[in-house]
Amino acid sequence: MKKVLLAVTLMIGLAANAQISPKFNGDPEDFQDMKKRTLIVEVLEEDPKIIKKLDKPKKAEELKEYQTFIKEFNEDFRVFAPKYWKLNSNIEYKTTTEIDALQKSKNKSYAVLRFILLNDNGTHGLKTGLNVPALAYTRIESNRKAADSKIYLPYRALSKGKSLLEADYKYALETLQANINWIIKNDKTIHFDKYAEKMAEENCTKLKGKTILVPEYVLKDGRSKEQAIKNYGGNLKFVTDEEINNAFVNKTKNTAVLFVAPYGIVKGSMVIQISTLVYFKVVADCETGDVNYLYMPGGFSYGANVSDKMTETEFKTMGNCKIL
């Protein structure tokens, strides 16, 4: 599914940044109402159109990845959604087909928690085939393409193991709920990008004295771990996904972990170019789940590193609590 979800396409067009809209379409009153509803956790189904497209000898591996992802996601989400989602007390499980039928019948009694793929809005009439994986929490009557709330999913495209770990689900589910609770408390809707930035600005100083765990493959090839640690100026460790997962799931004290997630797309220039996803980095406290640091350059700032890798420079930026 790593290839299927994050596939790269060729574009011919004007230089541009493709926009993934971060907008939340729900108001504080909507979220208050959604908390009282029964929650449907959506069970993914294989899309016949995608199966037909991939059902070719040359696409056999992609077809296998696609089917494996759906199977693993459904199995994991059935466990982790009720474990970490606390806004709704009653939970049911329904397939996409069943949810669509309820929506067509004008049902307005459910909230839905689902996996979605965010597509770019297009620039100069041009669109890529790239997607940004996310979780959405929304009213059943809302348009599937205009979710009331959403959060980008950490996606371990570089990992040799599963692309989504329990820690990734935990981080996404708990952070989205914290975002929604902030909206209700402050009677003001702010989307994840602004919420995470605000939390990072408030909490970054709390990183002092904590051990920061970073996936070992996140450091750019050829870069120095020793220099990265020196630049950070604190206790920084490059570890395996298993260590990341265990620390975050078990709420290890005085420890925070770094997650990497795609949040946008950069398109090609006036010649044939490869379009690619851009990534942000977020550090979350293992014990509280709070966002402590955010590196999400706005507008794809010139010179900013928006790849899924980090250099020694970004660790210095983090050590200085410079929020981008």
DSSP 209-226: TPEEEEEGGGBPTT--HH
| Contact predicate 112/99, CB 8 Å | yes
Condensed to tens digits (0 to 9), the pLDDT of residues 76-109 reads: 999 999 999 999 999 999 999 999 999 999 999 9
Torsion of CA 113, 159, 245, 234, to 10 degrees: -120
Residue 136 φ then ψ, to 5°: -120, 140
Condensed to tens digits (0 to 9), the pLDDT of residues 47-65 reads: 999 999 999 999 999 999 9
pLDDT attached to residue 187: 98
In sequence order, which residues have a C-beta less than 8 Å from that of residue 33 and are 6 or more positions away? 139
| Contact predicate 42/130, CB 8 Å | no
Q: Report the share of the chain in percent with pLDDT over 90.
A: 77
In the 8-state DSSP scheme, what is residue 44?
Answer: P
Rounded CA gap, 111 and 41, in Å?
A: 9
Torsion of CA 295, 256, 241, 152, to 10 degrees: -40
Domain extent listing, the chain: 2-319
**pLDDT at residue 248 greater than cutoff 50:** yes
